[in-house]
Amino acid sequence: MPTVHLLGGGWDPAAAPALYGPFLESAGTSPVVATLVLDEGDGTTQFGRWADVLRRTAPCEPVPLLVPLGGRLDVADLGDADALLVCGGLTPAYADALAPVAGALATWLRAGDRPYAGFSAGAAVAADRAVVGGWRSAGVPVCPEDAGEDLDEVTVTDGLALVPWTVDVHCAQWGTLPRLLTALAGGPSGLGLALDEDTAVHVRDGVGRVAGRGTAWRAERSGTAIAVTGLRDGDAVR
């Protein structure tokens, strides 16, 4: 199974090698990186932000793959790229663009042993059941409204099923850990990860490894209880 790299967001240059380095290393020498951006009108500019970070981290060739808002990824557009980075933006729209082609995308990744990296929204949609937004549960606030992604109730939809955890992002910065716990309490998934910014979990053979400056919050449901463990740089995630 190709490696999967979950990035919780953040733009601290000092953290970039820990976040993007293992992804680029998995992609081979001077890899071509398909860089998928949901285009809300500024897609070229947004692509440039990630391309700059990737090039500063290691020799590589980022190529833009802009999917219009409301559109769907055509997996054929990935071509012979060596790796895929799914960037950040409006998470529900990323799920709409990617979940319908999850099977074809997984086949493409496996066929070339190509690594997948997801930044913010791209990390959230890597899950089987993806937390795409919302800030209230049954009308009760569980996280700041600004983190709601234009949704009211906490919303979980189909994702890419690349990792065994339900994933939320910008955890410490946006206060999203309660949203993840809400999703776990009300859904079929019993495992979750909430990632701080400038923090990543790099997954190989089903085992993750935390990297970066913040915390990866692992949550596991057992009956009606949910246990939360904070994991830091170098810690394993199972």
Could you give all domains of the chain from N- to C-terminal order, each with its CATH number?
A: 4-237 (3.40.50.880)
Pick left, alpha or beta for residue 41 (phi over 0 → left; psi -120 to 50 → alpha; otherwise beta): left
Q: State mean pLDDT over 194-219.
A: 98
Is 170 catalytic? The answer is yes
Is 197 a residue whose pLDDT tops 80?
yes
Q: Annotated catalytic residue: which of 5, 26, 149, 170? A: 170
Is 145 catalytic? The answer is yes
Is 137 catalytic? The answer is no
Q: Annotated catalytic residue: which of 5, 26, 120, 202? A: 120
The DSSP secondary structure of 112-146, one letter per residue, reads TT--EEEETHHHHTTBSEEEEE-SEETTEE-S-GG
Interval 102-133: pLDDT, tens: 999 999 999 999 999 999 999 999 999 999 99
Model pTM score: 0.96
The pLDDT confidence band at residue 136, using thresholds 50, 70 and 90, is very high
Is 188 a residue whose pLDDT tops 90?
no
